[in-house]
Amino acid sequence: MTIGRLAAVIGHPVAHSLSPVIHRAAFDASGLDWTYVAFDVPPGSAAEAVAAMRVLGIGGLSVTMPHKDAVAAAVDRLDDAARALGAVNTVSWDGDELVGSSTDGDGFVASLADAGVEVAGARVAVLGAGGAARALIDALGRTRADSIIVINRTASKAEDAALLARRASVGGFDDISSADIVVNATSIGMGIEPGSASTDALPCDPALFGDRHVVVDLVYHPLETAWLAAARRCGARTVDGLGMLVHQAALQQHIWTGILPDTGVMRSAAESHLRGNSP
């Protein structure tokens, strides 16, 4: 058993990050004497945070916005996903070297499997082409998904993201009705409670959905977005964004400690926290 080590998340802002709650629950469940804290690192200071990790011997780093690209330039080497994306969400030690990885995409794929959603043979429509969308397009490209359609407000970004996977191409809202899985990887819906006046903005018209669709929202605050609720009313099966958050964190712990933690415990801790009922 590894004794008394520290892992941390760096981001800005980071005060409301669920990562400490999820990671501490996982370390406890695995019986590891690790602790996990959040460091608010201002934009432009990511390289200094990585240097501090070296000096302080911090056992693992989670990296969130806005530092994912800068950390990719500050570590000693990158894994395949982080190299393809030019972005890092995990830093770990390999001997004396710091390795940058990206677990976001594989965490997304694992969350679909956990929800019982079959990716093999599926036509997947991804709404968005930012950091999260790119991570899941890259990971879906390593699955047996039939095709990946990238739909984004800014066409040039969609074209760039579609280059990440061989079976990916740029599409439009017309492609949604023939998709099997539709993922919101835009930031639309974040922090907007269903029923509030701001719910006019939805990633796409939910009337496009029927009972053949699996609809996934990466937004997890609120857990049930207005868009997911509307998709469910149209007959779609829905999956919330907490699964991806939990699974990318579980993969981080596997990299740091060699132990894959109990994702059920992690999810319960996150749900409890989101309900304002933190243990």
Give the interface with ligand NDP as residue ranges (CB under 6 A).
65, 104, 128-133, 152-154, 157, 185-188, 190, 201, 218-220, 241, 244-245, 248
Q: Which is nearer to ligand NDP, 95 or 116 (CB)?
A: 116
- Which residues are tagged catalytic? 68
| Distant-in-sequence, close-in-space partners of 93: CB < 8 Å, separation ≥ 6 | 59, 60, 99
Q: Which is nearer to ligand NDP, 54 or 141 (CB)?
A: 141
**Locus of tokens 């994306």:** 85
Token pair for 110: 């694992």
Which residue has the CB atom at the shortest distance from ligand NDP?
Answer: 130
**Shortest distance, CB of residue 10 to ligand NDP, whole angstroms?**
15
Q: Which CB contacts under 8 angstroms, 24+ apart, belong to 79-85?
A: 81/105, 81/106, 81/135, 81/138, 81/139, 84/138, 84/164, 85/131, 85/134, 85/135, 85/138, 85/164
Q: Which is nearer to ligand NDP, 180 or 217 (CB)?
A: 217
Q: Which is nearer to ligand NDP, 56 or 201 (CB)?
A: 201
**Shortest distance, CB of residue 131 to ligand NDP, whole angstroms?**
4
**Locus of tokens 């695995």:** 30
Pick from 117, 225, 233: which is nearest to 179 by CA? 117
**Shortest distance, CB of residue 240 to ligand NDP, whole angstroms?**
8
**Shortest distance, CB of residue 229 to ligand NDP, whole angstroms?**
17
Q: Which is nearer to ligand NDP, 76 or 224 (CB)?
A: 224
- For residue 77, the tally of other CB atoms under 10 A from its CB is 11
**Shortest distance, CB of residue 234 to ligand NDP, whole angstroms?**
20
Pick from 6, 218, 214: which is nearest to 121 by CA? 214
Q: Which is nearer to ligand NDP, 136 or 145 (CB)?
A: 136
Distance CA 162, CA 168 (A): 5
**Shortest distance, CB of residue 241 to ligand NDP, whole angstroms?**
3
**Locus of tokens 């968005």:** 128
Written as one letter, the residue type at 59 is: G
